[in-house]
Amino acid sequence: MRSGPIAIEIAACTDIGLIRKNNEDYFLVVDLATGKSLGDIYKGEKTPSTLSILLAVSDGMGGQLAGEVASQLAVNTLWDNLLKSSNIAPYDRLVKAVEDANYQVFREGQRPEYRGMGATLTAALVEGDQVYIAEVGDSRAYLMRDGRIKQVTTDQSLVEVLISRGVMSPADAEKSTNRGILLQAIGGKEEIQVAITSLPLQSNDYLLLCSDGLSNKVKALEMAQFITKRGATQPACQDMIVAARHRGGEDNITA
């Protein structure tokens, strides 16, 4: 692990899009060392021993306001759980927090006014120079390093399974009417299987979490171009959201 200070720059943007009446996306940026939200813009330095940051994106689903309730409940439960479990190893800590978020959304979803609600949830727990990324659904995480960007999550969707089996090409998947069918979501069942991975971080890495309102409209290569062109997180996020809106903006957009 590095011993010197680590410079950090974080930005988050969300947009209702051009069609939806409300924004069911929800994001969170939290300094777990202090327990405080960092809002949508943060720039500073941390030592490896005090670097403990949570990034999360959730895309809610459900009628009326249920989608908003699901995404906010999922993310806030995640936050609360992680604050109470600092003595657990990061990998297990994040899995447990996501499982608890799922249970809370599932339980609330039994109420008649929230029946059928659910959400995606992708969360990155940065601990020192390591990041742990958990996913349920199809909100994505990307890592950009040395100008190259890579998707580090796998969509938990029907079309992704068909692609992996060679039944469908990625190009056909983009046009498929089954594109939005998820294999699992937060709140869909009482128990879920959390997909989780861990990666070492290096200087000048960029980590991008986003809802499908962005990834369905802006390709990974374009994301890298926006980041490279701007050289700063906030303008890059804004540019990506503008691009998604110009290409239809049918969904809420978060990066």
Enumerate domains of the chain plus CATH numbers: 6-154+186-254 (3.60.40.10)
Residue type (1 letter), 44: G
Determine which helix (DSSP H) or strand (DSSP E) holds 197, and give its type and residue range: strand 195-200
**Residue 17 DSSP class:** -
SS3 27: strand
Start-to-end C-alpha separation, the chain: 28
CB atoms within 10 A of CB 234: 16
Structure tokens at 250: 């049918």
- Residue type for 250, please? E
Rounded distance between C-alpha atoms, residue 154 and residue 82, angstroms: 23
Q: Kindly report, residue by residue over 148-171, the tens digit of the pLDDT.
A: 999 999 999 888 888 889 888 888
Query: Within 110-232, where are the H helices?
Result: 158-164, 170-175, 212-215, 220-230
Helices 90-108 and 66-83 pack at an angle, to 10 degrees, of 150
pTM of the model: 0.94
- Rounded Cα–Cα distance for residues 81 and 104 (Å): 11
**Residue pair 222/246 in contact by the 8 Å Cβ criterion:** no
Which pLDDT does position 122 carry in this prediction? Answer: 99
pLDDT digits (tens, 9 = 90+) for 135-153: 999 999 999 999 999 999 9
Average pLDDT over residues 32-57: 93
